[in-house]
């Protein structure tokens, strides 16, 4: 059972990463009919929604695209910033979806932002407490580590609706504004769906790991009672 478990938590994220890379590579070679760069797509969406104060900047690294709410900037990786492909359009629009969420005060985005310091602290300290608790057979310390880990897991779960909503907003924008042709919507969705798999896989693995630790804690308590 442990072999199956470890195979799942290792192979599922790897499969998701391979899927997003292969899908992105495929559609990064398919130019959009409007032949606009990712930067132009992003600027068009932001301007259409009155977000003139949100900058569109070129970032660094492969698929390093993200929206920075602190500096109000959509940062696109070089291949998407300069690219004219379906993939570049989809990714740029997705990051603008986060900017729209931020401007509208989207509830799940606000909740996720409040979880950031707790999740960071929890992910850093949880395994220290968990390992000490397991090896020293201290169920109280193990439970504390599980609580901290649960905060990090909650962050990953809350991330799911944030990402799916951003993708939904992205597709609405690029189609309604004519930034891609209607016939290209299906291909753009494939890019965003593949990217979403990485978040789903990460959340699923995190939940499985949390459940495993809860079972270890339960077993430890039973052995103490005996």
Catalytic residues: 95
How far apart are the C-alpha atoms of 188 and 91, rounded to whole Å?
A: 9
Cβ–Cβ under 8 Å, residues 82 and 73: no
Helices (H) and strands (E) counted in the chain, each on its own, are: 7, 3
Residue closest to 87 by CA, chosen among 169, 191, 171, 17: 191
Close Cβ partners of 219 (under 8 Å, ≥ 6 residues apart): none
């Amino acid at each position: 059972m442990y072999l199956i478990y470890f195979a799942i938590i290792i192979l599922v994220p790897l499969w998701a990463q391979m899927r997003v890379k292969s899908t992105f590579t495929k559609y990064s070679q398919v130019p959009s009919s409007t032949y606009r760069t990712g930067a132009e797509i992003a600027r068009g969406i932001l301007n259409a929604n009155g977000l003139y104060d949100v900058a569109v900047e070129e970032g660094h690294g492969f698929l390093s695209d993200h929206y920075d709410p602190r500096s109000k900037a959509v940062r696109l990786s070089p291949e998407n910033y300069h690219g004219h492909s379906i993939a570049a359009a989809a990714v740029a629009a997705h990051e603008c979806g986060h900017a729209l969420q931020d401007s509208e005060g989207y509830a799940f985005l606000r909740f996720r932002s409040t979880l950031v310091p707790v999740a960071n602290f929890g992910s850093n300290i949880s395994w220290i407490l968990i390992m000490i608790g397991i090896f020293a057979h201290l169920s109280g310390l193990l439970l504390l580590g599980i609580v901290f880990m649960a905060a990090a897991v909650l962050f990953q779960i809350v991330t799911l609706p944030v990402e799916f909503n951003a993708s939904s907003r992205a597709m609405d924008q690029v189609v309604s504004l004519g930034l891609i042709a209607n016939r290209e919507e299906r291909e753009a969705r494939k890019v965003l769906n593949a990217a979403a798999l990485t978040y789903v896989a990460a959340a699923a693995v995190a939940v499985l790991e949390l459940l495993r630790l809860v079972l270890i804690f339960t077993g430890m308590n039973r052995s103490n009672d005996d």
